[in-house]
Amino acid sequence: MNEFSNTEFIKATARNLGFDFCGIAQATELSEDARRLEKWLAQGFHGDMEYMEKNFDLRIDPRKLVPGAKSVITFLKNYYPNKSDQQIANKQDAKIAKYAWGEDYHEVIRNQLHELLDILRKKIGPIEGRGFVDSAPVLERSWAQLAGAGWIGKNGNLIHPQSGSFFFLATLIIDLPLQYDAPLVKDFCGTCTKCIDACPTQAILPNKTIQANHCISYFTIELKKAEIKTDTHYKDWAFGCDVCQDVCPWNRFSTPHEETKFKPLNHLLQMNKADWMQMEETTFKARFNTSPLLRSKLKGIKRNIEYLNHQEKAD
């Protein structure tokens, strides 16, 4: 098989496995991204996420993650929910970000990447490669843009021009040369500032700079301290936040996903603050043992709700 037929086979296999997009970029050092990342870290916008400072050289050069790497393949997998589930979620007083309604996307997509790589090896021959799903030093959004998947919006999310931004990003780095897609060089955000205006914590700065340590997702997931100490006001969010995506005009093109494993788990959308505060640890683990919610644990969700209650009293 040649580069063209290998490329076509990879993209067809990705579609068959349930990925919504597959694009390919040449493995090379991301020099410009390296400079932006250095500046962002120097400004302290990563807060307590010390892991962002580690493995800097691996983040900017995939050939150091996979020796001999030739291609970086980006996959998008839709997680946008159906209308009825969204209507239920809108009534919650302890909101959960949409990406965390179903099973842990890390495991779901990682298994699909492994299956894809196995298929490629059987069809094409020996291939060295590694798959990554938001769990390694890989600049997924930069590679997605280079692979033609979309552009980086003002809210820091990758935006696909036909489908919006409610996608998980996955990356497969392999030592096989392929045909490379043209990057989407135009930014279609234009003069729109809806995400900036709507952000409850003013975490979105000009020039597509995100103060991650001001983001609701940071406070409710990444921050591991026993108590949230800040004057930041936000409403209803117990795990993550979707505000900047919900207001983005490009997400009017979003369509409901077809992945059964991303459907809401165990009446998650019917739960309110009181339900969470009354829940026991054993119940939490039994009901959400395959959920991304395990990342913050039950004590983390209860801490977040206690902060919400504190803010309500202060108001």
Catalytic residues, by residue number, are: 134
Nearest to 61 by CA among 142, 126, 131: 142
Q: Are 169 and 130 in contact (CB under 8 A)?
A: no
Q: Which residue has the tokens 């010390």?
A: 50
Tokens of 73: 């393949």
Q: What string of DSSP letters covers 237-264?
A: EEE---HHHHT-GGGGG------GGGSP
Cβ atoms of 95 and 235 within 8 Å: the answer is: no
Contact 296, 304 (CB under 8 A): yes
Element (H, E) at 109: helix 105-124
